[in-house]
Amino acid sequence: MGLELYLDLLSQPCRALYIFARSNNIPFEFKQVELMKGQHKTEEFQKVNMLMKVPAMRDGSFTLAESIAILLYMVRKFKTPDHWYPSDLQKRARVDEYLSWQHISIRGKGSKLFLMKLLLPLLTGQPLPPEKLEGATEELNAVLKQFEETFLQDKPFIAGSEISLADLVALVELMQPVGSGYDLFEERPKLAAWRRRVEEAVGKQLFQEAHEGILNAKNLTVDMIAPEMLEQFKQHLLKQVTQL
């Protein structure tokens, strides 16, 4: 029994893991955990991750949660090419810096917009008030500006001339608001160029395959959600939106 990755590709960090593992030909068993069906709450999955979140990993008897921890584990165990997590002290620190900063900024605001624009309306049957959406969009725009000015600057990738974990983690997060209908790349040519570079570096086909679900998120319907999960989801998302 080899490496098992517990994933739902609707989730950004799951996509990062999936793309990283496939791109590096890391052998693993894809264990589907469908969030909309509540499969993350099953007793079986709780044995893998009692926090009931995806992604999760099991390697023999060793289980691990948190996408960044799992990515770094794979880097080390499978000795992936250096550029993913450079051995150069300063370049590595740049990657660490981004991976730390992104939690509340890019990930937080990107998720928030996705929840407000797509997921909550799906669950409640009504769109959110436009001022709320505007507010969330503005917050995302502000962190995008920081991303471009502080992290990307004029470099091809965050750590310099080659792709690293930072770029992969960043891009999968930015695809979430895109999936909800906010094309944040449209008027940001520098960001769009960077996105193309990342897609090419991991493989365009793989990238597109990983994002098929999220880019069709608009076609999700409420009956795809397990009825017993509906109320729980609604409450959980409403709470998340106020915290993000």
Angle between helix 165-179 and helix 12-23 axes, rounded to 10 deg: 130
> What pairing do the DSSP bridges indicate for beta strands 56-59 and 3-7?
antiparallel
Q: For residue 136, which of 156, 102, 112, 155 has the smallest C-alpha distance?
A: 112
Tokens of 23: 């791109």
Among 5, 16, 17, 72, binds other proteins (CB under 8 A): 72
Q: How far apart are the first and last CA of the chain?
A: 38
> What pairing do the DSSP bridges indicate for beta strands 62-65 and 56-59?
antiparallel
Q: Does 238 bind other proteins (CB under 8 A)?
A: no
Interaction residues for other proteins, span 15-54 (CB under 8 A): 50-51
Q: Does 65 bind other proteins (CB under 8 A)?
A: yes
Length of the chain: 244
Binding piece for other proteins, criterion CB under 8 A, among 20-28, 69-77, 189-197, 205-213: 69-77
Q: Does 89 bind other proteins (CB under 8 A)?
A: yes
Among 68, 133, 206, 220, binds other proteins (CB under 8 A): 68
Task: Give the span between the Cα atoms of 6 and 43, in whole angstroms.
Answer: 14
Of the pair 62, 130, the CB lying nearest other proteins is at: 62
Residues 108-127, one symbol each (x = binds other proteins by CB under 8 A, - = not), give x-------------------
Q: Which helix (H) or strand (E) holds 101?
A: helix 89-101
Q: Does 100 bind other proteins (CB under 8 A)?
A: yes
Q: Does 103 bind other proteins (CB under 8 A)?
A: yes
Smallest gap from Cβ 150 to other proteins, in A, equals 5
By the 8 A CB rule, do 95 and 160 touch? no
Binding piece for other proteins, criterion CB under 8 A, among 145-153, 182-190, 211-219, 225-233: 145-153
Identify the DSSP state of 105.
I
For residue 55, say if its preceding peptide bond is cis, omega within 30 degrees of 0: yes
Interaction residues for other proteins, span 180-219 (CB under 8 A): none
Task: Give the span between the Cα atoms of 54 and 46, in whole angstroms.
Answer: 11
Smallest gap from Cβ 64 to other proteins, in A, equals 5
Count of residues in contact with other proteins, rule CB under 8 A: 31
Among 4, 34, 66, 82, binds other proteins (CB under 8 A): 66
E strands, 8-165, are: 29-32, 56-59, 62-65
Q: For residue 67, which of 78, 87, 53 has the smallest C-alpha distance?
A: 53
Smallest gap from Cβ 178 to other proteins, in A, equals 22
Smallest gap from Cβ 204 to other proteins, in A, equals 29
Chain residues that interact with other proteins, rule: CB under 8 A: 50-51, 62, 64-70, 72-73, 76-77, 89-90, 92-94, 96-97, 99-101, 103-104, 108, 146, 149-150, 243
